Structure 1
Amino acid sequence: MVESEERRDFFRIEDTVTMQLAPVIAGDSGEPKLPDVFLTLNQLRRLDSENSQLLRLIQDKHRDVARYLSMQNEKFELLSQMLVKQLESSFSKYNVNISGSGLKLSLEQPAEIGSEWHLTILLYPDCFGFYTKGKVSQCDQEPETGNYQIAFEFTELKQHDQDELVKHITKMQSKQLRKERLGD
């Protein structure tokens, strides 16, 4: 392989996601609406991110107040987990290899190279959900299982969603590296 073909724009990680996956059918009009649960989870995540710096400042001066606020955050985290459980009926868990530009997973049925799919994805543990279209760039049958390794290239991923996905990947990669270091 030529060096330029080996170079990637984004890091890749092995991850487990909750996802709804459906082929784009001729005549589809635009993107499907994100479930309300996704919108609520994303809003909770955004608020938590905005409040984290304030919480650190409060902690420096008022430990009791900071402890109370941290416990409130735990309540919101429990509510987030409950909301995620509600998705189990219409979403499935997949083990994926994911980057900021696409993902690869194993499916029982093949997918036509070049076909477009709707991907509605929820990332753990942050519970961040997003929608994108994906174009099948690879479909290879696995001899040992008979399943198909299918690679999707994200084609309509919003910049904000891609930024959040890259943050997630970086965070998960750092966590894995720490785990490996401590294991040695």
Structure 2
Amino acid sequence: MSEERRRYFRINETMGIGYEALDHTHVQHSEHTADPRARMADILDVVEEQDERIEHLLVELEDDHPKVVELISLFNQKLERVVRHLLVDSQLINRIARKMKEVNISACGIAFMSDEAIAVGTNLHLELALYPGNKTIETPARVVSCDQEEEGGYYWRLDYFGMAKGDQEALIQHIVRSQSIQLKNK
């Protein structure tokens, strides 16, 4: 079987998908579904500004109220540790949490439903969890289509680009195996 032909086998199956827009300006969110990473970046910017203001005020108070300055400094350090811990936990949860989705997949691309719209041409970092076997493939992908569905949601179509040869071969083998199993079960 030719390599080209194997690349275009398509199957429907359920798999874990995680993605991140490489250019966050292309993802079209409502206020209620804003990207948590973008919100986190905004929060961290505000925290940094507040830290600078606190430091400035502490310098002004240091001579007159050294105990108050020490107390505020300790509280600020404690708060920074808590924020840092929460940030690490948040990143770990985001890394682990992949959404299980019904997909239509080939070695060249993937299509699936999403709750959010995304601009055609947006580049994504895509993470696919293949089951069984828990093989994870990470690849860049580009949005080639995003259609609003009558039932609600958006149907995304993505093309992979720059996928590692080993990952592409693993994906092709997974698709061929899954297709074989699906045909046997018919």
For this structure pair, what is the TM-score category when the shorter chain's length is used for normalisation? 0.5 to 0.7
- Name the CA distance, whole Å, in 2 between partners of 1:87 and 1:168: 25
Segments of structure 2 that go 5 or more residues without pairing to the other structure are: 25-92
Once the 2 structures are TM-superposed, how far is the Cα of residue 25 of structure 1 from its aligned partner?
2.7
Segments of structure 1 that go 5 or more residues without pairing to the other structure are: 1-6, 27-85
- Name the CA distance, whole Å, in 2 between partners of 1:160 and 1:88: 22
1:13 equivalent in structure 2: 11
1:128 equivalent in structure 2: 135
TM-score by length of 2: 0.57
Matches within 5 A, 1:30-179: 89-143=96-150, 145-179=151-185
- Name the CA distance, whole Å, in 1 between partners of 2:95 and 2:160: 24
Residues 56-99 of structure 1, C-alpha deviations (whole Å, 9 max, x = no match): xxxxxxxxxxxxxxxxxxxxxxxxxxxxxx99952211111010
Report the identity percentage: 30
- Name the CA distance, whole Å, in 2 between partners of 1:169 and 1:8: 9
- Name the CA distance, whole Å, in 1 between partners of 2:168 and 2:96: 26
Change (3 A) 1:104 1:136: same
2:20 equivalent in structure 1: 22
TM-score by length of 1: 0.57
Change (3 A) 1:168 1:142: same
Q: Is the 8 A contact 2:15 2:131 kept in 1?
A: yes
RMSD across aligned positions (CA): 2.2
Residue identity matched to 1:112: A
Q: Is the 8 A contact 2:102 2:112 kept in 1?
A: yes
- Name the CA distance, whole Å, in 2 between partners of 1:93 and 1:156: 24
Q: After the TM superposition, which segments of 4 or more aligned residues of structure 1 sit over 4 Å from their partners? A: 86-89
Higher Rg: 2
Aligned residues: 114
